[in-house]
Structure 1
């Protein structure tokens, strides 16, 4: 009924209560019934396929805080809380929360109550974290674990994540008459069935067509990897080929997304003969694979294969993340065997060798977590890639979990067609024996920086013997391989080294083509003992660091040769097996 000003309630301040029509009752009853049916069908299917119960890690024992410090915190919280009630009568309610991306929408301030809810939530989050600081007797690592867990819980409890406390969701419910909740429930149940969160439209991309589509051929294959050789597009190419090792924790095509941001396509266009390793997602046949295999039967084998194919003495190499850690082991292994000249240069993308300050991922490495991994991999010897995906998502829960809960579950929006998010959801499985040793030997015990503490195929390795020219790239906002941790590689290698600090994080800091004109990078020609000294003396350059890398790499070996014969995939001694991107990238 329209409000004419004559139909008012007894107080004169609101509209008279009006019973919903039969049509409205039928509609909302139907929505509720449909939701119940969907939940019941999903629960029945889930119960039929329920896995064995997994052990959960224990929580730290409670420790009583300093009473005086706790009293001070409670007093501060009470004062701030009283101030929130005053905001109910002011237009400023929610202004503080507006600085947080979760509460930027105008709806949070149009109704003061929601602004106060958001402000109160942020106030409580601050109080919770201060409460952790007040706990006595906690070892530093356990305190950081508790802080991380507190942030995880706090993110989960955001009023933006619940329909009744999110004004945008309430608005959408009335706009769509509840259809958004049914679409969101459908999305949620589909994700529960898959065992992972969906971030993008799964039907928007096809490997080899509009993602991982740089032309090339698979020319070599082992039980561990396929070697892709990309087709040249220039008449001449750099004589020393470029061999890229992506991390086997994810698919290789993070470096070959769409043509506009593909590092592989860009490197080919710059005149490099480009080879890329596509690792096989682990299955039970790989249960006994260790770092020895990834180094010797992976990286060294690929280096020797490319050298033999092109008849060259050495190759340029790139190692991304964990493959960069393995590349450091490869260089140390080759140095120990007197074969260091097989590699002309080594480029490290956000790679760590010294794990003493490895960031929040270190919080996941303790005896309880290792027991959990053992339980998850018992029988198969393979760690399901969804476990690692969930771990990485937790590191950025606001962006990679709760944002999608709101957008796709509560608002019922369709998934975007985003190549990076498509890649992020294309998980790979890991050999359990390798993964456990990696966490224990590197993250927990930091053995790689202790000369001779680790051996590869029986050969003790020492990073100090590496004299190969190195280009080290770190991301300033990297939460997986923090720049402070990546910097430490500069103190362990003995050869000439160029360190570049790129804007953004673990992915965008690397995948940043010059044409995009985004971010910046910092370089420093003078020696620096610490990252802080580097940053203080560094000069900033706008845009991508890729051209800087190209100039550095070409200067080491500027000779070019004709792009013919073995420089073309399949035309040398190794015939083409199949078109890029190959079979292994499609292996679940």
Structure 2
């Protein structure tokens, strides 16, 4: 039997043909003429007859030899010039859908990333030096690493780090206990470290793609530990890694049997009428749905506020990800999922790695196949590799209704448990935090989604990317963030009028929570009726 694929290869060819058919001959001729002029300037600069053009910032070419040695500098500059020209030519096609244009751009990026001179032994100065140093043993060992990865059959380059992490000991180690569980999640409550705590507890809703503990990495960078030390009672949802038994668990199950049930359990454990929600990425999209459901049921008073971090509600602008939201691809994915009832974590990891190929694929190729050097230990990359499956029913509903149809943008465009969902009815105070260099949820798209809610909405823009921008402890004093009390129609206009602040947005967030809370404090909440210690057994399920 031929293995199915989670995409339609014919749709890829159709996208390329569609893009090519929209190219104007005159526009192509103009690009070619410009390319000829640029290559003439390049060769004059290569021979020292005119100053070279400034090279773009690119971490792949950070070694001094890429700038100091004429041979490597010429390779670098030729690669950048050819890349820029190919992208200009690829953008000429005016016809076709956003999905097709995004697919062509994605394929071109994959090609250009792959042919970088940094990825080849003879054109990377670090690899040449390493080969001379070891007498070629680095390439022998690197080939062995390549064979090991091919034989593993996972379709990914395994990251070989010089150290490892142990869940519950060196990572995801904030003390706490599981206080509730069902077939979809465990609810963790963390042990207080202050005598008094804020009246409103916090409940975190993570996405389904990876395990929950991105917000509980090493103690020095753990958002959970920092919040607990600030006098907050923190609860966290730890989703189960689903298998065939969960194939029929769709979005409504994760909203009702997941988020809503977790709200009930956390309120009972904390002995409070209401709590504050916070969520990341896909978790924030689900929280938006849950808030609209609670509003429709007359239960909005159970949530005091909601904070969504890097979360999209309006999917009109998905950037590179639009390449995969194509009806032909969705049909192929449905057929692919029907056999097992879920998508494998490795398949999701392959997709995310391809979108960030230089950071998540080619850097490891260079380190492990060419240099034969271990990568430095990274708690964030360890978390990234600890993926989880997603059930068939969830992906079908999420992809077709929320992404492809953009149902949350329309009043009553989606339903959960027979209840129409309209995020415009949500009046819960909300804080939406976007990340400026986010490659998953473009900050402008997050801003557009913020305007769909019906109540008070505050928008903040943090620095850095989708994951690293969240893990921003104040002690590190990194990245910065932007605020603006105005909410103009355009995201660019918001940024133009925004104020830049140094450091982390975490203290701003807790200040916002204080301003929207009761202001009351009480004795720290002791954990009662614990089931097992944090991080719980669901986070360890990999089979």
TM-score with structure 2 setting the length: 0.93
| Residue matched to 1:480 | 440
- Displacement of 1:317: 0.7
| Residue matched to 2:3 | 52
Q: Identify which of 499, 517, 523 aligns with 1:562.
A: 523
Aligned length: 532
| Residue matched to 1:333 | 293
- Greater shift, 59-68 or 311-320, is seen at 59-68
- How does 1:159-238 map onto structure 2 within 5 Å? 159-192=117-150, 193=152, 194-199=154-159, 201=161, 204-238=164-198
Matching of residue 116 in structure 1 with residue 74 in structure 2? yes
| Residue matched to 1:39 | none
| Residue matched to 1:416 | 376
Matching of residue 430 in structure 1 with residue 398 in structure 2? no
| Alpha-carbon displacement from aligned partner over 1:459-483 (angstroms, at most 9, x marks no partner) | 1111111111111111111110111
| Alpha-carbon displacement from aligned partner over 1:496-546 (angstroms, at most 9, x marks no partner) | 221111111211221111111001111122443332232222222111111
Q: Which residues of structure 2 form unaligned runs of 5+?
A: none
Decide whether aligned partners of structure 1 residues 91 and 586 sit closer, same or farther in structure 2, where only a CA change above 3 A counts: farther
Decide whether aligned partners of structure 1 residues 369 and 536 sit closer, same or farther in structure 2, where only a CA change above 3 A counts: same
How far apart, CA to CA, are the structure 1 residues paired with 2:406 and 2:446? 14
| Residue matched to 2:24 | 66
| Residue matched to 1:153 | 111
| Alpha-carbon displacement from aligned partner over 1:86-142 (angstroms, at most 9, x marks no partner) | 445439998744743222322234542332222222222122112123335444442
Q: Identify which of 212, 217, 242 aligns with 2:202.
A: 242
How far apart, CA to CA, are the structure 1 residues paired with 2:422 and 2:277? 19
- Report which of the two structures shows the higher radius of gyration computed on alpha carbons: 1
Provide the secondary structure at the position in 1 that maps to 2:339: coil
Decide whether aligned partners of structure 1 residues 257 and 93 sit closer, same or farther in structure 2, where only a CA change above 3 A counts: farther
Provide the secondary structure at the position in 2 that maps to 1:181: helix
- Displacement of 1:258: 0.5
- Displacement of 1:67: 2.6
- Displacement of 1:309: 2.4
- How does 1:446-457 map onto structure 2 within 5 Å? 446-457=406-417
| Alpha-carbon displacement from aligned partner over 1:376-415 (angstroms, at most 9, x marks no partner) | 3231111001111121122222222212211221111112
Decide whether aligned partners of structure 1 residues 202 and 424 sit closer, same or farther in structure 2, where only a CA change above 3 A counts: farther
How far apart, CA to CA, are the structure 2 residues paired with 1:319 and 1:538? 24
- Displacement of 1:191: 3.0
How far apart, CA to CA, are the structure 1 residues paired with 2:108 and 2:196? 57
| Residue matched to 1:9 | none
Matching of residue 362 in structure 1 with residue 316 in structure 2? no
Provide the secondary structure at the position in 2 that maps to 1:378: helix
Q: Identify which of 310, 333, 339 aligns with 1:350.
A: 310
How far apart, CA to CA, are the structure 1 residues paired with 2:470 and 2:191? 23
Decide whether aligned partners of structure 1 residues 237 and 90 sit closer, same or farther in structure 2, where only a CA change above 3 A counts: same
8 Å CA contact retained: 2:303, 2:428: yes
8 Å CA contact retained: 1:93, 1:115: no
Decide whether aligned partners of structure 1 residues 442 and 236 sit closer, same or farther in structure 2, where only a CA change above 3 A counts: same
Decide whether aligned partners of structure 1 residues 465 and 53 sit closer, same or farther in structure 2, where only a CA change above 3 A counts: closer
Matching of residue 388 in structure 1 with residue 348 in structure 2? yes
8 Å CA contact retained: 1:144, 1:363: yes
How far apart, CA to CA, are the structure 2 residues paired with 1:367 and 1:241? 42
TM-score with structure 1 setting the length: 0.86
How far apart, CA to CA, are the structure 2 residues paired with 1:249 and 1:202? 26
How far apart, CA to CA, are the structure 2 residues paired with 1:405 and 1:527? 44
8 Å CA contact retained: 1:95, 1:109: no
How far apart, CA to CA, are the structure 1 residues paired with 2:51 and 2:117? 15
Decide whether aligned partners of structure 1 residues 544 and 99 sit closer, same or farther in structure 2, where only a CA change above 3 A counts: closer
Decide whether aligned partners of structure 1 residues 457 and 183 sit closer, same or farther in structure 2, where only a CA change above 3 A counts: same
Provide the secondary structure at the position in 2 that maps to 1:228: strand
Decide whether aligned partners of structure 1 residues 64 and 256 sit closer, same or farther in structure 2, where only a CA change above 3 A counts: closer
8 Å CA contact retained: 1:98, 1:104: no
How far apart, CA to CA, are the structure 1 residues paired with 2:282 and 2:49? 51
8 Å CA contact retained: 2:4, 2:336: no
| Residue matched to 2:466 | 506
How far apart, CA to CA, are the structure 1 residues paired with 2:93 and 2:475? 50
Decide whether aligned partners of structure 1 residues 527 and 162 sit closer, same or farther in structure 2, where only a CA change above 3 A counts: closer
Q: CA RMSD in A?
A: 2.1
Q: Which residues of structure 1 form unaligned runs of 5+?
A: 1-49
8 Å CA contact retained: 2:160, 2:368: no
| Residue matched to 1:263 | 223
| Residue matched to 2:531 | 577
How far apart, CA to CA, are the structure 2 residues paired with 1:474 and 1:109? 35
- Greater shift, 488-497 or 498-507, is seen at 488-497
